[in-house]
Structure 1
Amino acid sequence: MADQLLDSTLGDLACTLPGATRVFHQFHLDFCCGGQKTLRQASLERGVDADEVIRQLSRLDPQDAEGADWRQASPEQLIDHLLDRFHAVHRQQLPELIRLAARVEQVHGERDDCPHGLTELLITMQQELESHMQKEEQVLFPLIERGAGPMAGGPISVMRFEHDQHGEALQQLVDLTGDMQPPEGACNTWRALYRGLDELRVDLMQHIHLENNLLFPRALGLEVRHG
């Protein structure tokens, strides 16, 4: 069982084990952009104890309601979910996070632990993510819903590349904010900002995971392995 888990990719485990993504977040394992890496490889690169990851995975409840199984959903159902649960939510999240970040930088700019440059980073993320989502909504998703198959390969390659860029931006957020951990004495605005950033991280990683590891392979007619 342990060897089977070690040799499974993070993307497959995220698809097949309800709650696995929470464990991966705990150990900072990238199951979205890095979803093709095996648990063994990803743990080694991250410097985490793979045996402990497996122990945490083995404790998961297979009936976990939060671990919705999208493997059996049609591409149309998955696209509807992506639009409602992630595209619409990101458009609500980022303007408020930008407002909070600007406030924190304005009020606490003299502190060494102030996340200097966070507002600018979030504005760039908002612009890049909005452009990305529009390309999906106007070009890629309609192609997939028409059953374009291999014709969607070009746009999918572009989206995967941009997903990697989003992943790099998330890592910049982590580095800039000390893993979204508010410093001692942080005000309520600062704490709300970091809670919101953590929610954005979790949502964006799940968003990318569902596209990279489920929607895109299915659209290209590739087999989605069930573990």
Structure 2
Amino acid sequence: MTQLTIDTHVADIVSALPQSTDLFRKLRIDFCCGGKIALKEAAEARHLNPVEVLNHIKEIEIKQERRDSFDPTSFGDKTLVAYIQENYHESLREELPALSPYITKVARVHGEKSPHLLRVQEIFRELRTELLEHTEDEDKNVFPLILEFLRNPTDELKEELRPRVFELEEEHENAGKILFELRDITNNFVPPNDACGTYRAVYARLEQLEKDTFNHVHLENNVLFDRVRQAI
């Protein structure tokens, strides 16, 4: 990742770290049309300390790097479940509501010229609902059952768990189909040359969402659920 400093343009920070848009929005720093200025200048225009703003950006960057640095496939059962919940489920609960207003804005502003953005908005709403309901069910019902079964694989728990795992895998497959359509209609998340900063940030964050979701599904389908199947 590019070394970020107070002299880095706001738009370049957003390109390198799409989640920084939430911070800029909160601080009322224009990262869209007015993003071609240094962070120092943008912060001072809002009477903010540029170094403090940069430190917040660095915290976002460190959090992302920390997530990407682990190999959780070797974790124990309880640690693996906790890792999935902390790094993917909690992240989805933060990212999906945070991203929603940007998608709504881009669809409203650019939807007439680029009608596929209206479909992007529809797909995102469907994906948001499905992922949030899915993760809530896992956290409240299925993951506790999995951990109990892996500790004590009784026939009763096996019969209770088998259809739940199958159902989750079907939901994962459906989420994958939604993401494939999203990638297809956004031209592999490549915005048009004249796209504004918000438009570009939306595409970058959708691509990151796709990456995180596929990593998330891989850990569940091919690691956690495999452990269940082996015990069954």
| TM-score using structure 2 length | 0.64
Residue of structure 1 equivalent to 2:37:
none
In 2, Cα distance between the equivalents of 1:113 and 1:130?
27
Give me the whole-angstrom Cα distance separating, in 2, the residues matched to 1:66 and 1:110: 38
Shift of 1:197: 0.3
Q: Which has the larger radius of gyration?
A: 2
Question: Is there any run of 5+ residues in structure 1 with no aligned partner, and where?
Answer: 1-64
- Kindly indicate whether the alpha-carbon contact (under 8 Å) linking 2:73 and 2:80 is maintained by their aligned counterparts in 1: no
Identity in percent: 30
Equivalent position of 1:90 in the other structure: 92
Q: CA deviation at 1:96?
A: 2.4
CA distance in 2, matches of 1:137, 1:112: 38
Q: Greater CA deviation, 81-90 or 66-75?
A: 66-75
* Counterpart Cα distance in 2 of 1:112 and 1:83: 36
Following the alignment from structure 1 to structure 2, what is the Cα–Cα distance between the partners of residues 73 and 167? 25
Q: Structure 1's 143 and 94: CA in aligned 2 closer, same or farther, altered over 3 A?
A: same
Q: Is the 8 A contact 2:169 2:221 kept in 1?
A: yes
Q: Which residue of structure 2 aligns with residue 120 of structure 1?
A: 122
**C-alpha distance in 2 between matches for 1:220 and 1:147:** 11
Residue 164 of structure 1: aligned partner: 173
- SS of 1:171's equivalent? helix
The Cα offsets for residues 189-211 of structure 1, whole Å up to 9 and x where unpaired, read as 00110110011001000000000
Deviation at 1:127, TM superposition (A): 0.8
Once residues 192 and 219 of structure 2 are traced to their aligned partners in structure 1, the CA distance between those partners, rounded to angstroms, is: 33
SS at match of 1:99: helix
The answer to whether the Cα contact below 8 Å between 1:180 and 1:197 also exists between their aligned partners in 2 is: yes
Distance across 1 between alignment mates of 2:190 and 2:73:
34
Work out which of the residue numbers 190, 205, 215 in structure 2 matches 1:181: 190
Look up the SS of the partner of 2:230 in the other structure.
Answer: coil
Give the TM-score, by structure 1 length.
Answer: 0.65
SS at match of 2:132: helix
Is this contact kept in 2: 1:75–1:219, CA < 8 A? no
Give 1:180 deviation, angstroms.
0.7
CA contact (8 A) 1:140 1:155 kept: yes
Which structure has more relative contact order (CA 8 Å, sep 6+)? It is 1
Q: How many residues align?
A: 159
Please give the residue correspondences for 1:56-95 in structure 2 after superposition, counting only pairs within 5 Å. Answer: 66=68, 68-95=70-97
Deviations 1:153-182 (A, max 9, x none): 111000000000000010111122111111
How far 1:108 moved relative to its partner?
A: 1.1
8 Å Cα contact 1:94-1:126 kept in structure 2? yes
Higher helix share: 2
Q: Which secondary structure does the structure 2 equivalent of 1:220 belong to? A: helix
In structure 2, how many angstroms separate the alpha carbons of the residues matched to 1:98 and 1:115? 13
Secondary structure of the structure 1 residue equivalent to 2:72: coil
- Shift of residue 67, structure 1, vs aligned partner: 5.8
Retained in 1: the 8 A contact 2:73–2:219?
no
1:205 equivalent in alignment to 2:214: yes
